[in-house]
Structure formats: structure tokens, C-alpha cells
Structure 1
């Protein structure tokens, strides 16, 4: 069998390799052909969109197509965006263009256009936009937790004691109007 190096090379007849194959190797050609049909010379732009533009902009946008005009320097990147988020994305286009060009390694994108759509995209399920993650509430201070335990200390019923402790925690952590 040898050192196993022969299992990682495709045969000249185009047959599949033996043993385990990385999933990226199996899908690489299909992803590249799908990307090239939309004008994406670098598929990393499609597959790693949140890493390229950042989580905040990736939640609001989806890359649709890269168009190349004759005689013009730089391509046009078309992004899908909800109409409610379009003004905010419009203000960040220079930053977005710089990040995309950093992915290409040169000034490949000269212009970015926005295509506004409904939250579900052109057809149901094709381009869903993610909601912003909900930040967990900050943990209460130890003195507040201690006061909440003291408030429910004399109560025998477990459910009532937990409700009283939760009420005390909520009351002590609320924002006070001045």
C-alpha cells in the first residue's frame, strides 16, 4: 500500500480517489462553476461572505453577481439587501468595497450596486437574511443575588420562593429614572 500518498491523487481516468476525501475537494469544481456563472472569479467571496465583510454587514447583504463592463476599470458587485436596510448599507459601501477588494488582493471591484428585495429574497427560501443575535442580559451583581436569596429565605413553597427571588432580582436590577 505504501505511504498512502497515492490515495490523495485522482487517477488519470477521472475516477474518484480511494478512502476518505475532503468534502471541499468534492464540491470545489461545482462551487467554482456556479460562482463563475455569476461572475465570481474568487469563490471565497461567496463561501466566506461573513468573514470578508464582517458579521454586521453579512446579516444585511448577500452577494448576487459580479459584472464586468467593457473598457471600465473594475467590476460591479451586485448585492441583495432588504429595502429597510439599504440606506444603512449604502453609507457603508466604501468600507464594504475595500473589504471585498482585500479578498481579491487588488482593486477588482470598482462599484457596488444594491438590489432591494423583501426579507425572503426574490423567491421564498432563496436568500434569507439572518436576524441579529440577541445579547444575553448581564449577570446581576453578587449583592443583588444575595438580597434576592434573603427575600425568599423564609418561604417554604419552592415555586413561590423562586418567583419572589426573581421579582427581587428584577426590581433591584431595573433602571431607575432620575
Structure 2
């Protein structure tokens, strides 16, 4: 027994092996796609495969996108190529090809182009109590709930700003 280990450490070798099988020598391209190309492009594209030519000079990156977004992505291919090559540190990618798919409708291998929203943290009980106290005298339910929400947001933001300074 080695004690507790980070899940990323346990899976690192398997991810690297799977990535190399698909041509991804740098797994950062897969794991940090949104950081490499930006959140807007990452929301509508997925890197699928990197193919190497016979001469060994310049690889080809295949991106998956929906048919609706393909023209927009096509216009941005030079910028994508620059960003991907910056990730590698040299001009590894010479060509990018697009593969279009439907966003829904295929049972297996369906690509998800939406990211799961980050879960909101549970509100602080002290902040909830203070918000309820502030809205105590309000008789209209909708107005009281809105005032409580406003107070919770204000106090939470003030608390997080104090924590940063």
C-alpha cells in the first residue's frame, strides 16, 4: 500500500498510451484543448486524430465539429494551427482537416460539444441567516426571495474579496 495517490497519477500512463495510439504525442492537446484554442473554439470542436505523413514532415490534425459550425471553424484554421503548434513548441502540424458530425443522434461515439457547468458551492449558513434576517419584514414572497438572493450574493462576493486580500 502506497497510501493515497492522485487519480491523475494513476491514469497518466494509460492516457498517454491511448493518446499516442491516436497520434497525440503531447497529451496536453487533448486534456487542455480549451486552454490551447480558447473556450469558444473548444465548445464547438474536438481533436480526434493526428496523422503523420510518409515523409515525417508535418502532421495532419483531424478536428470533429458539427456541420453548422464547420464554416466558422474552417475560417479559423490558420489561427488554430498556430495555437496547436505553439502547444507543441514547433511546427508539428502542417494541415488541419475537419470532420463533420451531428451533435446528437448517434448512440455510440457521440461527441459532446457542451461542457458540464461547474457546480455551485453550498451557501454559507451564516450568510443565509443574515439574508433571511434582512428580508424579514417583507410580506410579498417574490420580493422577499429576491431580496434574500441579492443579500446572499452581495455577502458572498464581499466574503470572497476579503479572502483574496
Structure 1 residues 10-159: aligned runs within 5 Å: 18-71=2-55, 73-120=57-104, 123-124=107-108, 126-130=110-114, 158=140
- SS in structure 1 at match of 2:43: helix
Relative to its length, the structure with more helix (as a share) is: 2
On the 8 A contact 1:120/1:129 being kept in 2, the answer is no
C-alpha RMSD over aligned residues? 2.4
Q: In the aligned structure 2, how far is the partner of 1:124 from the partner of 1:86?
A: 22
* Matched positions, count: 123
Q: State the structure with more CA Rg.
A: 1
Q: In the aligned structure 1, how far is the partner of 2:13 from the partner of 2:80?
A: 27
Q: In the aligned structure 1, how far is the partner of 2:62 from the partner of 2:79?
A: 15
- SS in structure 1 at match of 2:100: strand
Partner deviation per Cα, 1:50-109 (whole Å, 9 max, x = no partner):
011100000010000000011252100000000000000000000000000011010000
TM-score, scaled relative to structure 2: 0.67
5+ residue gaps, structure 2, are 118-137, 144-165
Q: In the aligned structure 2, how far is the partner of 1:127 from the partner of 1:51?
A: 19
Distance apart, 1:158 and its partner CA = 2.1
- SS in structure 2 at match of 1:88: helix
Q: In the aligned structure 2, how far is the partner of 1:40 from the partner of 1:48?
A: 13
Distance apart, 1:121 and its partner CA = 7.7
